[in-house]
Amino acid sequence: MIKSYGGYFMHLDRTFAVLGGDLRQVDVANRLLARGERVHALLMEKNQLLAPALQQAGELRQVLQSCDVVILPLPLTTDEQTVNAPFSGKSLPLEECFRLLRPGAAVFAGKVSRRARELAERFQIHLNDYLEREELAVKNARVTAEGALAIALDELPIAMFQAHCLVTGHGRVAKELIRVLRGMGAPITVCARKYKDLAEIEMEGCQAAPISQLAQAARNADVIFNTVPAKLFGRACLTNLRPETLLIDLASRPGGVDLAAAGELGIHTIWALSLPGKCAPLTAGDIILQTVENCLEEEEL
């Protein structure tokens, strides 16, 4: 393991396994290899971006038993039965995976369900969920913001520097969106509830609007970025929009827009989920690896 903050590097003699997942996991494996680590990439043999040196993985059972650090995918599983492995022809049941892991190995995974966590614990495995780490959330928020900007650039027939943007909410994604939209020179209104957030929004160079003024702010917007996971954009609010307004919903399930109503009213709506993995998988992989490193470093301290 190389510790990378600030330029002091230290090799700890560890063996890594990176299992399953999408391009992010491929990237994690490639980065470890590039840093000179001993690393095995498993259950991703069909991906062509995997470094040649990683394409001949060892035998699964043997690898898992010997590894010190195991990085499982995000999400860990999509069926609650097997390790999520879209780039593999093989299937690995979670239970078998946990049984094979060496006791004492540091095991990481993303978006771990309660059921999977309980299963792992039966085998004395503690799953560190990197998706719950704040530093990952901060950086993923930026990648999400970039993905949202890309959608706006692709869909809007006007330039961003003159597009009136409305951002709802003032959490991590909203803050990074503000940064990115400000960089484009766009006029931005941000709608939030708390006075503290309204003050911060002003300091960020935006127009602050209390939630009571959402309808009016939405009506003036050329593009709306919703980050609030509550149905702010129900039929009433949607009816009020100008027909050319673009509505980008970044809220996780169940989302913030009444999609049926939006469809009927002809409001161009895009519900954009999981942008980091889609828009910038290599950066998303980088972020996961940094987060895993941070966790390992904390354990050592």
Our finding on whether 149 is near a second copy (CB under 8 A) is yes
Please state, in angstroms and rounded to a whole number, the distance separating the CA atoms of residues 204 and 158: 24
Please state, in angstroms and rounded to a whole number, the distance separating the CA atoms of residues 111 and 11: 29
Q: How many residues bind a second copy (CB under 8 A)?
A: 55
CA angle 249/250/256 to nearest 5° reads 50
- Compute the half-sphere exposure of residue 292: CA atoms within 13 Å on the CB side of its CA: 29
Our finding on whether 4 is near a second copy (CB under 8 A) is no
**Minimum CB distance to a second copy, residue 193 (Å):** 12
**Minimum CB distance to a second copy, residue 90 (Å):** 25
Site for a second copy in 272-291 (CB under 8 A): 279-283, 286, 291
Taking CB under 8 A as the binding criterion, the range among 11-19, 31-39, 194-202, 262-270 that sits at the site for a second copy is 194-202
Please state, in angstroms and rounded to a whole number, the distance separating the CA atoms of residues 19 and 36: 18
Q: Where are the alpha helices (DSSP H) in the chain?
A: 23-34, 60-66, 94-100, 114-122, 134-155, 172-183, 195-203, 214-220, 235-239, 259-265, 275-279, 281-300
User: What is the DSSP track for 233-276?
Assistant: B-HHHHHTS-TT-EEEE-PPTT-SB-HHHHHHHT-EEEE---HH
DSSP state of 185: T
Our finding on whether 36 is near a second copy (CB under 8 A) is no
Our finding on whether 230 is near a second copy (CB under 8 A) is no
Our finding on whether 154 is near a second copy (CB under 8 A) is yes
**Minimum CB distance to a second copy, residue 74 (Å):** 16
Long-range contacts of 157-165 (CB under 8 A, 24+ apart): 158/222, 160/184, 160/185, 160/186, 161/185, 161/186, 162/186, 162/187, 163/187, 163/222, 163/223, 164/189, 164/220, 164/221, 164/222, 164/223, 165/189, 165/221, 165/222, 165/223, 165/224, 165/225
Our finding on whether 62 is near a second copy (CB under 8 A) is no
In the list 213, 219, 242, 263, the residue contacting a second copy (rule: CB under 8 A) is 213
Looking at the Cβ atoms of 63 and 166, the one nearer to a second copy is: 166
Looking at the Cβ atoms of 125 and 288, the one nearer to a second copy is: 288
In the list 15, 66, 240, 294, the residue contacting a second copy (rule: CB under 8 A) is 294
Q: Judge whether 114 and 123 are in contact, CB under 8 Å.
A: no
Looking at the Cβ atoms of 61 and 219, the one nearer to a second copy is: 219
Our finding on whether 156 is near a second copy (CB under 8 A) is yes
In the list 11, 61, 122, 196, the residue contacting a second copy (rule: CB under 8 A) is 196
Our finding on whether 199 is near a second copy (CB under 8 A) is yes
Looking at the Cβ atoms of 184 and 261, the one nearer to a second copy is: 184
Taking CB under 8 A as the binding criterion, the range among 76-84, 105-113, 205-213, 232-240 that sits at the site for a second copy is 205-213
The total number of residues shown for the chain amounts to 301
In the list 2, 51, 131, 184, the residue contacting a second copy (rule: CB under 8 A) is 184
DSSP 3-state of 25: helix
Our finding on whether 164 is near a second copy (CB under 8 A) is no
Point out which residues bind a second copy (CB under 8 A): 5-6, 23, 133-136, 138-139, 141-143, 146-147, 149-150, 153-154, 156-162, 176, 179-180, 182-185, 194-196, 198-200, 202-203, 205, 208-210, 212-213, 216, 279-283, 286, 291, 294
